[in-house]
Amino acid sequence: MVQFVSVENILKTVRTCGVETFLAGLANYVEQDFRRWELFDKTPRVASHSKIGVIELMPTSDGELYSFKYVNGHPANTKLGLQTVTAFGMLSKVESGYPFFLSEMTVLTALRTAATSAVAARHLAPKPSETMAIIGNGAQSEFQALAFKALLGTKTLRLYDLDPEATQKCMRNLAPYGLELIPCKSAEEAVEGADIITTVTADKQYATILTDNMIGAGVHINAIGGDCPGKTELHKDILLRSKIFVEYPPQTRIEGEIQQLPEDYPVNELWRVISGMEVGRAHANDITLFDSVGFATEDFSALRFLHDTVQKTGDYEDVDMIAEPTDPRNLFGLLTQDDSRDKAA
């Protein structure tokens, strides 16, 4: 039997733990796995592109566990009342190849993206980082806000979205969490006085959410939304002034903000900073940029954390996904002998 965490069950578990506690726990797993970076079998995601979106598989393994995530990205879905991104994923044992854990990952991806952003910022952002601007107040924004509150003690959010209703929605959702929430009329206004600028917009196109004059010295930029070929959020000049940190360079060069830069432009690997092998922010005036596209190891961490968490909360079902005949050579026997399923029962 494979443990399955449905949408209902992940919501139940996150509610039981509390979102901030869940995010903090997840962030610890993400950080642990970044420290073990060299152990992982890494490969750029396997993408199937169509005119209106992309479907991707993101596999990885640490030699003991194997994970993959299925995820789509369809910006026009929102107009049809559908999610831009849906996802699910799985953990299996490398030793036997047997899957043992399956989960919805639409909610979990939002949580892991936010946890990873906050982990990166914990190593890169100026200290203290009390004020964050969030440009793009859609499906990811509240998760980002609470991860930064939980991990960095962020107190004030300056919110901007092209659509003021999105900002209102974000403010309503965040109202109970004790953050100061400031709605802004423009991206320029939002970034005023911000220690951290999070960009998390969704158009599948080259866009310029931030221009060079908006970025002052000492800021940390958490760029979430530029995450597939042809989709960026920052003006190139900002990149040239920043110290750029990425997850997995071969993937980020295809999908991230740095697709605007030459292929050999120097970037820094986040795992090396987290492992203490390299310095993140060297000077108070540095502009640090986390060019986040999301990497398979983060999903691995998220699945591992959720698995460990639901062993305590019990928020999962067993699903009958693996055929287990008593005699493994007698798969066919399952068709005729009901008793050959003893082991699965």
Interaction residues for a second copy, span 21-60 (CB under 8 A): 41, 43, 46, 48, 50, 52-55, 57, 59
Rounded least distance, CB 120 to a second copy, Å? 21
Catalytic residue among 62, 227, 291, 299: 227
Contacts to a second copy from residues 124-163, by CB under 8 A:
138-143
Q: Which residues pair with 57 in a beta bridge?
A: 46, 70
Q: Which two tokens stand for residue 289?
A: 């940029």
107 binds a second copy (CB under 8 A): yes
Based on its alpha-carbon atoms, the radius of gyration of the chain, rounded to whole angstroms, reads 21
Annotated catalytic residue 320: no
Q: Which is nearer to a second copy, 80 or 284 (CB)?
A: 80
Among 84, 252, 288, 292, indicate the residue that binds a second copy (CB under 8 A). 84
Whole-angstrom distance, CA of residue 156 vs CA of residue 33: 30
Site map for a second copy, 171-190, x if CB under 8 A? --x--x--------------
Site membership for a second copy, residue 330 (CB under 8 A): yes
Sheet architecture: strand order including 220-223: 180-183, 156-160, 131-135, 196-199, 220-223, 288-291, 243-246, 268-269
The stretch among 97-105, 203-211, 235-243, 269-277 that binds a second copy (CB under 8 A) is: 97-105
Which of the ranges 91-99, 118-126, 189-197, 304-312 carries the binding residues for a second copy, by CB under 8 A?
Answer: 91-99
- Tell me which residue of 242, 228, 36, 28 sits closest to 147, measured CA to CA: 28
DSSP H helices, the chain, are: 7-17, 19-35, 106-124, 141-152, 164-174, 187-191, 236-241, 249-255, 270-274, 296-313
**Binding to a second copy in span 298-327, by CB under 8 A:** 319-327
332 binds a second copy (CB under 8 A): yes
Torsion on CA atoms 212, 214, 215, 216, rounded to nearest 10: 120
Q: Which residue number, 127 or 203, has a Cβ lying nearer to a second copy?
A: 203
Among residues 78, 186, 208, 213, the one that binds a second copy under rule CB under 8 A:
78
> Which residue, 23 or 258, has its beta carbon nearer to a second copy?
23
Under the binding rule (CB under 8 A), the answer on residue 80 touching a second copy is: yes
Are 88 and 98 in contact, with CB atoms under 8 Å apart? no
Closest listed residue to residue 177, CA positions, set 141, 123, 201: 141
Size of the site for a second copy (CB under 8 A): 79
Q: How many CA atoms lie within 13 A of 14 on its CB side?
A: 21
Binding a second copy by CB under 8 A: which of 16, 25, 36, 70? 70
Check: CB of residue 112 under 8 Å from CB of residue 89: no
Q: What positions carry a catalytic annotation?
A: 227
